[in-house]
Amino acid sequence: MNYRHSFHAGNFADLVKHALVLWLLEQRQAGGPVTVLDTHAGAGLYDLAGDAVRSREAEAGINRLMASGDRPPLIEALAAAVAVSNPDGAISIYPGSPLLVARRLRSGDRYVGFELNPPVLALLEDVLIPFAAAGARGGDGYDQVLTEAAASPGAFVLIDPPFEQPDDYHRAADTAAAILRADPKAMVAVWTPMKDMETFDGFLRRLERGGAGRALVAEARLRPLTNPMKMNGCAMVVLNPPPGAEAAASEVCGWVTERLGEAGARAEVWISG
Ligand code: SAM
């Protein structure tokens, strides 16, 4: 377990993921109380003065977002959520999915975050202390989420693996499809990196074969996918997407690729299945 999200916190991929998670949560909440299950929760909060300084990914991501003057509504909503963690103005803290969600929980809502790495789990537990309806669980998120989703019909599930294990694409697709097969009212959002098209297409085919049904595919390609050793972009694949998801994803992926991308950057938003 070498993965440390602290190197990547606040990068362009976090911005895409978190702007969409906030919007998706709002859509689910409009239908009544919601349970959010986060299979790979991470630490919940990242100090950008640490590993992120060396990687410079936050500098190219959240710092540029916060400095930008004309943010469309979904990007503005993320900026506002990040500002809550940085009351003095300077951006030194980046909130992860657990904290972004926990702060938005309303009466009857619930959040469960799974985290495999014990020191990261300890950080997550600390971050969630103030939120009575939010909790952290140790262990493997893929293994545990099916049982938890079965007990929470209509759950909103986020699957956000590090993609360091060779089977992460398969496990993410199989878990997402299994949740939808068992509960067609659930909504599952899977984040993936985009390195080359073949890997990404294989992931989408596996979802389809697994019976995942209709999916929104929101791609933010920061550069053409010519070097498969690099993270050239990222995607959020949303199973059972709510109405308006295409427009929302176009707003987020469009802004990120236009403002943070290189030559040849582009957003692709489409429906599969
Ligand atoms: N979802 C978080 C966010 O948006 O703030 C970021 C999560 S980070 C990309 C992935 C996390 O998953 C890491 O903290 C890693 O330790 C954890 N992890 C890796 N394999 C796991 C597994 N099988 N089950 C649960 N957590 C796992």
- Which domains, from first to last, does the chain contain? 12-43+99-272 (3.40.50.150)
Average pLDDT of span 205-229: 94
**70: Cβ–Cβ under 8 A, 6 or more apart, which residues?**
none
Nearest atom in ligand 1 to the alpha carbon of residue 42 is: 14
The residue whose C-alpha atom lies closest to atom 16 belonging to ligand 1 is 117
Counting residues of the chain whose pLDDT is more than 70, the rounded percentage is 99
* pLDDT band at 5; cut points 50, 70, 90: confident
d(CA 129, ligand 1 centre) in Å: 19
pLDDT at 254: 98
Average pLDDT, the chain: 96
For a pocket test of ligand 1, which of 5, 39, 174, 191 has the largest count of ligand atoms closer than 8 A to its C-beta? 5
The residue to which tokens 């080359």 are assigned: 196
**Residue 21 pLDDT > 80, yes or no?**
yes
Q: Give 272 Cα–ligand 1 centroid separation in angstroms.
A: 26
CA distances from 138 to 38, 96, 115, 223, 247 (A): 12, 17, 5, 36, 36
Distance 253 CA to ligand 1 centre (A): 22
DSSP H/E element including 49: none
Ligand 1 neighbours by CB, cut-off 6 Å = 1, 3, 5, 17, 38-42, 96-97, 114-117, 120, 140-142, 160-162
- Ligand 1 atom nearest to 9, measured from its CA: 5
- Per-residue confidence (pLDDT) for residue 141, from 0 to 100: 98
User: 140-199 pLDDT, tens per residue?
Assistant: 999 999 999 999 999 999 999 999 998 999 999 999 999 999 999 999 999 999 999 999
- Give the separation between CA 255 and CA 244, rounded to whole angstroms: 17
Helix (H, G, I), strand (E, B) or coil at 224: coil
Mean pLDDT of 72-92: 96
Residue pair 248/189 in contact (Cβ under 8 Å)? The answer is no
The pLDDT value recorded for residue 142 is: 98
> Residue 271: in which H helix or E strand, if any?
strand 266-272
* Banded model confidence at residue 1, pLDDT cuts 50, 70, 90: low
Q: Is the pLDDT of residue 251 over 70?
A: yes
Beta carbons within 10 angstroms of residue 264's beta carbon? 13
Does position 53 have pLDDT exceeding 90, yes or no? no
Q: Who contacts 34 (Cβ-Cβ below 8 Å, separation ≥6)?
A: 25, 28, 109, 110, 154, 155, 156
Q: Is the pLDDT of residue 30 over 70?
A: yes
Confidence tier at 50 by pLDDT (50, 70, 90): confident
Ligand 1: atom nearest CA of 39 is: 25
Q: What is the pTM for the complete model shown? A: 0.97
pLDDT at 211: 96
pLDDT confidence band for 225 (50 / 70 / 90): confident
Q: Which atom of ligand 1 is nearest to the CA of 140?
A: 24
Query: H or E stretch including 81?
Result: helix 73-84
Which structure tokens are listed for 273? 């299945």
Per the listing, tokens 């957003």 go with 267
The ligand 1 atom nearest the CA atom of 18:
4
